């Protein structure tokens, strides 16, 4: 024995070692319980899979997201079983037609170990963002974060970017994007598509006499009238200062002219009050339709502009149709 060394009976050392091991185990259990409490308190669903896609760990937020009951939690639970469970409770905000495609995409991300992200929209409107991380042992760490508020804010900003601030109608940029979509549908199926250009008559004199705030009120009133009298399928936008455009799907030239006349009369038959005075407001409308030889939505817009100019030239407060020039 070395000097200064202390000898203990073997049985004492064994007992102390067991006590130390028990203390370490107890401490680890406390730390794991604290960690579990933290993970369960997160607003993020966490799922840990082994390389065979068996569930190794599942936290409470994940169980709340997917309504996983206690009866499902066992050592043989697989991710596929969880996916089938989610179908059964119809948690997804997707039709059955698209659900299988979505599930395949999620499984493909997990197999590839790609992070994603992939957004999931629930039937109740909540939006969960899914990510997948590959682990060194071949397993996967899946996280599901609630991004509903962020998505709502993003959607709101996107809507604002598409709307005219004064009237709430489509702005010029978004109207033309929607027009291109309708144009593509016309080219594919050959369905009727009409186009109106609408302009408030003598608008400069309204601004000069009553001021720009009154002019803004008139623009809003005309926009509201168009919105009130159009069909649900019609698309209307403010494309200039006092100029509006409207697409009328499934509408022939004759029916488009009838609709334009209805808009004209609705506005002409009402008196707009500004600064305590009654003001008569009128509009002029140019009408055209897609034909087999129409080259683009821009060409359609130009034709409606030509018809609108003709309505102005003929005295305003009227509807004019675009007439093809005679063949030379």
242 is catalytic: yes
CB 307 within 8 A of CB 286: yes
Report pLDDT for 17: 62
Q: List the pLDDT tens digit at each of the 328 positions of the chain.
A: 333 444 445 455 556 666 777 777 777 777 667 766 766 776 788 888 888 888 888 888 888 877 888 888 888 888 888 877 766 655 555 566 556 666 677 777 777 766 667 777 766 677 777 788 888 888 888 887 776 655 565 556 666 678 888 999 999 999 999 999 898 888 888 889 999 999 999 999 998 988 888 899 999 999 999 999 999 999 999 999 999 999 999 999 999 999 999 999 999 998 888 777 788 899 999 999 999 888 889 999 999 999 999 999 999 999 999 998 876 6
Distances (CA, A) of 248 to 119, 157, 180, 192: 34, 27, 13, 9
Angle between helices 148-162 and 172-189 (to 10 degrees): 90
Report pLDDT for 53: 84
- Pick the catalytic residue from 97, 158, 242, 303: 242
Report pLDDT for 102: 66
CATH 3.30.70.270 in the chain: give the residue spans.
163-321
Report pLDDT for 269: 93
CATH of domain 163-321: 3.30.70.270
CATH 3.30.450.20 in the chain: give the residue spans.
14-150
Give the separation between CA 130 and CA 302, rounded to whole angstroms. Answer: 47
Exposure pattern of 94-116 as b/e (b: 16+ CB <10 Å)?
beeeebeeebeebeebbeeeeeb
Report pLDDT for 157: 60
Report pLDDT for 4: 41
Give the separation between CA 295 and CA 326, rounded to whole angstroms. Answer: 18
Question: By three-state DSSP, how is residue 317 classified?
Answer: coil
Report pLDDT for 327: 66
Report pLDDT for 116: 66
CATH of domain 14-150: 3.30.450.20
Give the separation between CA 127 and CA 149, rounded to whole angstroms. Answer: 8
């Amino acid at each position: 024995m070395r000097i200064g060394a202390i000898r203990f009976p073997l049985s004492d050392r064994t007992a102390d070692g067991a006590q130390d091991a028990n203390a370490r185990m107890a401490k680890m259990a406390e730390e794991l319980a604290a960690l579990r409490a933290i993970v369960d308190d997160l607003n993020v669903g966490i799922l840990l899979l082994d390389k065979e896609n068996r569930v190794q760990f599942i936290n409470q937020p994940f169980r709340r997201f997917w309504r996983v009951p206690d009866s499902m939690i066992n050592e043989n639970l697989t991710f596929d079983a969880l996916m089938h469970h989610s179908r059964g409770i119809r948690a997804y905000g997707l039709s059955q037609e698209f659900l299988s495609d979505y599930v395949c995409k999620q499984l493909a991300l997990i197999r590839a170990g790609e992070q994603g992200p992939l957004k999931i929209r629930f039937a109740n409107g909540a939006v969960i963002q899914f990510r997948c991380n590959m682990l060194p042992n071949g397993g996967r760490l899946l996280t599901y974060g609630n991004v509903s508020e962020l998505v709502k804010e993003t959607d709101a900003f996107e809507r604002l970017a598409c709307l005219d601030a004064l009237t709430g109608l489509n702005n010029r940029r978004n109207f033309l994007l929607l027009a291109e979509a309708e144009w593509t549908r016309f080219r594919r199926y050959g369905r009727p598509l009409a186009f109106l250009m609408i302009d408030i008559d003598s608008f400069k004199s309204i601004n000069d006499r009553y001021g720009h705030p009154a002019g803004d009120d008139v623009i809003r009133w005309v926009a509201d009238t168009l919105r009130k009298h159009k069909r649900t399928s019609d698309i209307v936008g403010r494309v200039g200062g006092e100029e509006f455009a409207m697409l009328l799907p499934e509408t022939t030239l004759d029916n488009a002219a009838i609709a334009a006349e209805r808009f004209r009369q609705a506005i002409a038959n009402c008196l707009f009050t500004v600064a305590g005075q009654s003001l008569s407001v009128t509009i002029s409308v140019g009408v055209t339709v897609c034909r087999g030889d129409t080259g683009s939505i821009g060409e359609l817009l130009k034709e409606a502009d030509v018809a609108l100019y003709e309505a102005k030239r003929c005295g305003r407060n009227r509807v004019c149709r675009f007439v093809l020039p005679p063949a030379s």
